[in-house]
Structure 1
């Protein structure tokens, strides 16, 4: 496969990944807003929802993890861009790759820890929603960490070319 075809494949995969994450983030924002409005409305009416606080907390955590993966796709955080942008050649690539290895290593460790949490929570349920397994609520830890790693890897080629990882920057293909 030629380099341009490989680059086009990565760009297409990035686009699908970005659109999927955007859809999930929008759904989570809408769900969180709905839960908050319902919670406030019922509380004002004197009939507070028992599950409101726990559901809102879980949705906020999910929004944070999925949103972080979306931002990682554009290399919007976890980095020192000024330092890397001022470097050239092999030094720049080396610093970028060492930083990338550290970030990916951290998130792989987080995914592993999340799986340990899953195992520890097996058979337990949420306090205010006993029909919902606690492991389901905490599944965002390993899933979010894995999504972050995928986002970092998909944006790495653009970063190595000198851009933010977004297509069209630093020599990346325009979608």
Structure 2
């Protein structure tokens, strides 16, 4: 199986996990709202909803990493020549992964410390379960970054990085820039203004 197929399958897995999180969190919010509306709020609502939001954040971050959708500044990196672009990109990847290695290790230590602890409102739910998302989410994020590494290297050595929004829309960055320039010229012509030339 090629790396591309493995990466696609990994993204599908993360999408499924995030989908389940969204459905579950939406259900909790709806149930909590209805219970408050009826004047009999559940004691566990706030605590469970906060845990669900944390889970969605961690697993969603891993999915965004797999898609290369986290906030970046590709235009700034693309200004550098390929010889400098590659080490800068690799340094950024290394710093990101090092952070999540540290986060995952710290999260694992937290899970160990919380042995025997439970939610305040639901004593049947272990805090080890709720906080397990920290090391698991960190590991999933690192795996996603490693899978994207060949793509990052190829982009750094090649024409440069493409903004994720443009890539998802199938828009070539060069075409987008040309369209912006044409739009600016049309706006100037419509207002009757003309760009000033040097020395004018």
Q: Which residue of 1 aligns with 2:148?
A: 155
Superposed displacement of residue 43, structure 1: 1.0
- Return the match for 2:44 from 31, 51, 57: 51
- Cα distance in 1 between the residues matched to 2:111 and 2:80: 42
Q: Which residue of 1 aligns with 2:193?
A: none
Q: Which residue of 2 aligns with 1:172?
A: none
- Cα distance in 2 between the residues matched to 1:88 and 1:18: 31
Superposed displacement of residue 46, structure 1: 1.1
- Cα distance in 2 between the residues matched to 1:78 and 1:137: 27
Structure 2 spans left out of the alignment, 5+ residues:
156-160, 171-200
Superposed displacement of residue 37, structure 1: 0.3
Superposed displacement of residue 155, structure 1: 1.0
Q: Which residue of 2 aligns with 1:117?
A: 110
Superposed displacement of residue 79, structure 1: 3.6
Structure 1 spans left out of the alignment, 5+ residues:
1-7, 169-175
- 1:160-175 equivalent positions in 2, closer than 5 A: 160-162=153-155, 163=161
> What is the root-mean-square deviation in Å for CA atoms of aligned residues?
2.1
Q: Which residue of 1 aligns with 2:79?
A: 86
Q: Quick check: 2:58–2:133 contact (8 Å CA) kept in 1?
A: yes
Equivalenced residue count is 162
Stretch moving more, 98-107 or 73-82: 73-82
* SS of residue matched to 2:2: helix
- Cα distance in 1 between the residues matched to 2:36 and 2:84: 58
- Cα distance in 2 between the residues matched to 1:78 and 1:120: 33
Kindly indicate whether residue 38 of structure 2 is the aligned counterpart of residue 42 of structure 1: no
Q: Which residue of 1 aligns with 2:173?
A: none
Q: Which residue of 2 aligns with 1:145?
A: 138
Q: 1:103 to 1:63 in 2, by over 3 A?
A: same
Q: TM-score, normalised by structure 1?
A: 0.86
Q: Which has the larger radius of gyration?
A: 2
